[in-house]
């Protein structure tokens, strides 16, 4: 009795397996170029549930803060007033001055940080989102 049950089970499962193979082989369609037009992990008609991009979110603020303390505060001070330990010696300008802030664009500020100018060292090694964050930090410390 037992061997018979076992054999029929094996037979049944192999039949199911064969049927499955048969069905899937008929399902294979010809590849179309449109198959690759869908973004990864996204079904047609589905709205992408993506995380907010770094551009919307802004760079990690703690990262920007660390970058400021490490690279800028020694000359420009905590708020950017140019009162860091090396500020007077380097003649670091007061970045909080609203007349200066009004005459420079974010892009120009970012450019000086990246390329440096005179005694202001270049920070081309800082990633772009951090540079953008530093510009934002300078803007946030504008004097009234
Ligand atoms: C070694 C001192 C020093 C350090 C460190 C330093 N700066 Fe400066 N920074 C200066 C000096 C000096 C100037 C004036 C350059 C000039 O125009 O002659 C300046 C100018 C600037 C300006 C442009 C002001 C203008 O007139 O357009 C910005 C913006 C600025 N620094 C931001 C930063 C940021 C952000 C950091 C850190 C990533 C940084 N600085 C680090 C000394 C420093």
Question: Is 76 a pocket residue for ligand 1 (Cβ < 6 Å)?
Answer: yes
CA of 98 from ligand 1 middle (Å) equals: 16
Domain membership of residue 132 (yes or no) is: yes
CATH number for the domain spanning 102: value is: 1.10.760.10
Question: Is 123 a pocket residue for ligand 1 (Cβ < 6 Å)?
Answer: yes
The mean pLDDT of the chain is 79
Question: Is 135 a pocket residue for ligand 1 (Cβ < 6 Å)?
Answer: no
Q: Is 34 left (phi over 0), alpha (psi -120 to 50) or beta?
A: alpha
Domain membership of residue 9 (yes or no) is: no
Domain membership of residue 54 (yes or no) is: no
Q: How many domains does the chain have?
A: 1
Q: Which domain holds residue 91?
A: 64-140
- Choice from 100, 114, 120 to test ligand 1 binding pocket (greatest atom count within 8 A of CB): 120
Domain membership of residue 81 (yes or no) is: yes
Query: Taking the model in full, what pTM does it have?
Result: 0.69
Tens-place pLDDT, residues 46-90? 555 555 554 555 668 899 999 999 999 999 999 999 999 999 999
């Amino acid at each position: 009795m037992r061997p018979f049950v076992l054999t029929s089970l094996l037979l049944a499962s192999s039949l199911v397996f064969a049927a499955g193979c048969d069905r899937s082989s008929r399902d294979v369609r010809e590849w179309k170029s449109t198959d690759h037009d869908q973004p990864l992990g996204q079904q047609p008609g589905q709205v992408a549930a993506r995380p907010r991009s770094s551009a919307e979110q802004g760079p990690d603020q703690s990262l920007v803060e660390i970058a400021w303390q490490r690279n800028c505060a020694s000359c420009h001070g905590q708020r950017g007033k140019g009162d860091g330990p090396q500020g007077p010696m380097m003649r670091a300008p007061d970045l909080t001055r609203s007349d200066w802030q009004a005459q420079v664009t974010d892009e120009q500020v970012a450019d000086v940080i990246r390329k440096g100018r005179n005694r202001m060292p270049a920070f081309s090694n800082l990633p772009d989102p951090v540079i953008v964050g530093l510009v934002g930090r300078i803007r946030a410390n504008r004097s009234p």
